[in-house]
Amino acid sequence: MCTAATYYSKDHYFGRNLDLEFSYNETVTIMPRGYKFPIRHADDLANWMLCECYIVAKSYRKL
């Protein structure tokens, strides 16, 4: 079962998990605040700091 949690503060923290019995070869990744993350059909993301576990797709370069 997937779980999500939100901590309401001046910085607003949000977290969730993807609870599966198998791996997609995900890796822990940190995207510093101010890093310009290109998004294909939206404005680039640059104002968020992310610490996450994600899957590196071929169309995106590693940070």
Between the alpha carbon of residue 38 and those of residues 14, 43, 56, the distances in Å are 21, 8, 14
Q: Which of 59, 63, 58 is nearest to 31 (CA)?
A: 63
With tokens 């779980």, the residue in question is 3
Which one of the listed residues 1, 2, 20, 42 is annotated catalytic? Answer: 2
Catalytic residue list contains 53? no
Query: Among all residues, which ones are annotated catalytic?
Result: 2
